[in-house]
Structure 1
Amino acid sequence: MSTRSHVPANGLYFLVYEYIQDVAKAHSKTGEINTASTIFAGGAAGMAYWILGMPADVLKSRLQSAPEGTYKHGVRSVFKDLIVKDGPLALYRGVTPIMIRAFPANAACFFGIELANKFFNLVAPNF
């Protein structure tokens, strides 16, 4: 399964982050983002990513871990087998630990990005 399957999830990831930051800016007295909004927006973005991207990841993992020749038609075969044997909720098997990890991991990621942006704007404001 290619990275194309994660394109919608990546789009949602940045959409959620930017939307929350825009709302935070609109409600800020200074019109600037702050650490709390960055942490919240980053964490929420990570969770949104996995809500949309988890089914593709589950299918990819099953395909990769299956013995050679198990699935003759690739991801389509994995999907059909999974739905028939385990039902549609199987596409979200393991969602709890992923969500527990998603919030702090992505909050930290966006915090680091915003911190780096502030630093680079300070040392090279016209670059």
Structure 2
Amino acid sequence: MVSPRRSELSAPRILFAGGMAGIFNWVVAIPADVLKSRFQTAPDGKYPNGFQDVLRELIREEGVGSLYKGFSAVMLRAFPANAACFLGYELTMRFLDWWGARA
């Protein structure tokens, strides 16, 4: 068996796995999210070539580091939010497995 059965996973392990998944997800996703937010809040017609124009302007005016604006806030939220989500999913699946075994 590659991994333990669902019923063998402890809550702390599930919380840790979910939290780390959230962290790794946002490390990769935050630049795209910054670009999307900048594009959405721009006046109509400011970026005629879409995200390419947003990326060029952002890097030219604020540097590459600007792609990680809000990093601290996102990381503070990512771990607990995703840990809770993973735990909620796993507990729901355990409940459904238990409920199905009774039927």
Q: Distance in 1 between matches of 2:45 and 2:87?
A: 44
Q: State the identity as a percent.
A: 44
1:119 aligns with 2:95: yes
TM-score, normalising length: structure 1? 0.74
1:77 aligns with 2:53: yes
Q: What SS does structure 1 have at the residue aligned with 2:52?
A: helix
* Residue identity opposite 1:57 in structure 2: D
- In the TM superposition, structure 1's runs of 4+ consecutive aligned residues that sit over 2 Å from their partners are none
Deviation at 1:126, TM superposition (A): 9.2
Q: What SS does structure 1 have at the residue aligned with 2:85?
A: helix
* Residue identity opposite 2:17 in structure 1: A
Deviation at 1:110, TM superposition (A): 0.5
Q: What SS does structure 2 have at the residue aligned with 1:124?
A: helix
Question: Structure 2 unaligned runs (5+)?
Answer: none
Deviation at 1:32, TM superposition (A): 2.1
Cα-Cα RMSD? 1.7
| Residues 126, 77 of structure 1: alpha-carbon distance in 2 compared, 3 angstrom cutoff | farther
Q: Distance in 1 between matches of 2:48 and 2:54?
A: 9
Match of 1:103 among 74, 79, 90: 79
1:60 aligns with 2:36: yes
Higher relative contact order, chain-length normalized (CA < 8 Å, sep 6+): 2
TM-score, normalising length: structure 2? 0.90
Matches of residues 89-100 of structure 1 in structure 2 within 5 Å?
89-100=65-76
Q: Distance in 2 between matches of 1:95 and 1:119?
A: 36
Match of 1:45 among 21, 26, 30: 21
Deviation at 1:33, TM superposition (A): 1.2
Q: Distance in 2 between matches of 1:46 and 1:126?
A: 34
Deviation at 1:125, TM superposition (A): 3.5
* Residue identity opposite 1:32 in structure 2: E
Q: What SS does structure 1 have at the residue aligned with 2:44?
A: coil
